[in-house]
Chain A
Amino acid sequence: MDLLTPDLGLLFWQAIVFLGLFLILRTFAWKPITDSLNERENNIQSALDLAEKTRLEMTALKADNEKLLVQARQEREVILRGAKEIADKMVADSRDKAEAEGRRMLEQAREAMQNERQALVAQMKKEVVTLSLDIAEKVLRKELSDKTAQEKLVSDLVSKSRLN
């Protein structure tokens, strides 16, 4: 058993033991170990990927929310402005309408008063005529109650009237 000359028996045993060890460990140790290591690494990688994806989604969601918020704020402003305009318009409209109505009613009243006055004046005129006629009749009747007065009058009238 010299140092530098390989011994046949040891060569034989080493070859058998090492190859046997290799074949057994390959099936019963290395394959399951490397498989589960790979599986674990894949799991970790996919978990990391998922986390990254979720993070991106969250960012997108947040951006979306922000956008929605801004939009909502804008819409609110628009709506508020619209409502204010409508309210203003309504107030103005109703004021105009009320004014017009008042004016119209005033006009109507004035017209009615005018009509009334005219009717009243006409009535009064008529009554005055009747009354003056009555008075004239009465006066005439009284004046002409005696014969002499009557004749005098007729003579006056005849004298006054020019006979052509």
Chain B
Amino acid sequence: MRSILNRLFLAIALVISSIAFSQAQEHDHTGEATTQHEGEAPVEKGKFKVGDMIMHHIKDDHGWEFAHGVTLPLPVILYSADQGLEVFSSSRLEHGTVYNGYKLDHGKIHRVNAAGTELDDAKFYNFSITKNVASLLLSAIIMLLLFPAISRSYIGNRGKAPKGAASFLEPIILFVRDEVAKPSIGPKYTKYLPYLLTLFFFILINNLLGLLPGAANVTGNIAVTLVLAVITFIIVSFSGNKHYWMHIFKPSGVPLALLPIMVPVEIVGVFMKPLSLMIRLFANMTAGHIIILSLLSLIFMANSLGGMMTSVAISPVVMVFTIFLNLIEVLVAFIQAFIFTLLTAMYIGSAVEDHHEADHGIGYEPAEAH
């Protein structure tokens, strides 16, 4: 009974979210189209550039635009050698206004001179709380509220069955422990379990948050996945035992003549693994967002090609596809979190495992989904 209710609730939430999402898009685009074309030829009115719209949605931004006109200004933090540290609201840079010698152009802050021309060689560092950073902080707050609370419930509920959120998350935690960490790493898994759990839930929560309408595309940003991949790389490299490095630099059973080929291949492999982690997550999440946005764009393209009635006619079909893809994206959110964590665990496992399986250890990768 409960599971049926849960499913019903999930389905309703998805339908509502996709409808809200599409409406947000709609407002956005009609609005964007008008602002964009204010300075341009009025002939182009009613048309909008799908590519620009999609890029605008999947990329980072100063200010968090939930729907058109509803923008949460976020702090801009800049550091430059000559002007020092500067903190101001992103609302000061709206509509191309120049503030303190900075100008926001297509989501990127440029240094401008008094005349208003951009200075490309100006050096400054942008540590702004962008949309992605804000979403990142939001997900961190969610995790900091959720997991310590669960751990308290475990302590308060000692020796009893889990209750509430703990009973929902416990199977996932056990899954990461028993299906990911234990088989991949082996007996030394306890040391790496906290990292794997943090990784899994960080990716999962950010993936799911990214699916909400108006949300940021955090895990679809290459900087975020880069940091995760680099941390995994550091952990793997520092965990690597003698066998791991021996296998790379002096593989046993390889003819001497092949070493000049094998060693570079193995060295490239060391870097390829985190690189593949980085690109896999980034590409999967970004691609999912692009597909959903492209589908929704069909409505507006129909509007500009065949007029109002065509877009109304095409909307139900697009809606069905969008709901379907949203459901797939929910699945992908879990799968990608799982794959990133599993592969990290396997790389750690190959670095820490004891000798006897060294031949399979490093070159071995499971069939990589997606």
Question: A residues bordering B, Cβ < 8 Å?
Answer: 1-15, 17-22, 24-26, 28-34, 36-37, 39-40, 43
Cα distance A21–B174 in the bound complex, in angstroms: 20
CB nearest neighbor in A for B77: A9
Residues A32 and B155 in contact in the complex (CB < 8 Å), given A10-B132, A21-B202, A37-B173? yes
Residues A3 and B55 in contact in the complex (CB < 8 Å), given A10-B223, A30-B193, A33-B173? yes
Cα distance A51–B119 in the bound complex, in angstroms: 78
0/1 interface trace, chain B 143-177, chain A, CB 8 Å (1 if under): 11001101110110011000000000010011001
- Interface size for chain B: under 10, 10 to 19, 20 to 34, or 35 or more residues? 35 or more
CB nearest neighbor in B for A4: B222
Contact of B128 with A by CB under 8 A? yes
Residues A10 and B173 in contact in the complex (CB < 8 Å), given A28-B148, A30-B193, A33-B150? no
Query: Which of B57-65, B266-274, B307-315 forms contacts with chain A?
Result: B57-65
Shortest Cβ distance from residue B132 to the other chain A in the assembled complex, whole angstroms: 6
Total A-B pairs, Cβ < 8 A: 127
Going nearest first, the 9 A-B pairs with the smallest beta carbon separation are A29-B147, A6-B223, A32-B151, A26-B194, A10-B223, A36-B154, A30-B194, A14-B227, A13-B133
Residues A21 and B140 in contact in the complex (CB < 8 Å), given A1-B61, A30-B197? yes
Cα distance A33–B184 in the bound complex, in angstroms: 21
Residues A36 and B158 in contact in the complex (CB < 8 Å), given A26-B194, A30-B194? yes
**Is there contact, CB below 8 Å, between A18 and B227?**
yes
Cα distance A9–B126 in the bound complex, in angstroms: 5
Contact of B228 with A by CB under 8 A? yes
B155 cross-chain contacts in A, Cβ below 8 A = 32, 36
A43 cross-chain contacts in B, Cβ below 8 A = 159
Could you tell me which residues of chain B, from 199 to 238, have a CB within 8 Å of some CB in chain A? Answer: 202, 221-224, 226-228, 231
B202 cross-chain contacts in A, Cβ below 8 A = 18, 21
Q: B129, B148, B223 — which one has the most chain A CB atoms within 10 A of its CB?
A: B223
Cα distance A31–B170 in the bound complex, in angstroms: 14
A19 cross-chain contacts in B, Cβ below 8 A = 231
Instruction: List 18 extra interface pairs beyond A8-B126, A17-B136, CB under 8 A.
Output: A1-B60, A1-B130, A3-B55, A3-B58, A9-B133, A10-B60, A10-B133, A14-B223, A14-B224, A15-B227, A17-B133, A25-B197, A32-B152, A32-B155, A33-B151, A34-B193, A37-B170, A43-B159
Residues A5 and B222 in contact in the complex (CB < 8 Å), given A25-B143, A28-B148, A33-B151? yes
Contact of B13 with A by CB under 8 A? no
B150 cross-chain contacts in A, Cβ below 8 A = 29, 33
Shortest Cβ distance from residue B289 to the other chain A in the assembled complex, whole angstroms: 11
* 6 cross-chain CB contacts under 8 A: A13-B127, A28-B151, A31-B194, A33-B151, A37-B173, A40-B159
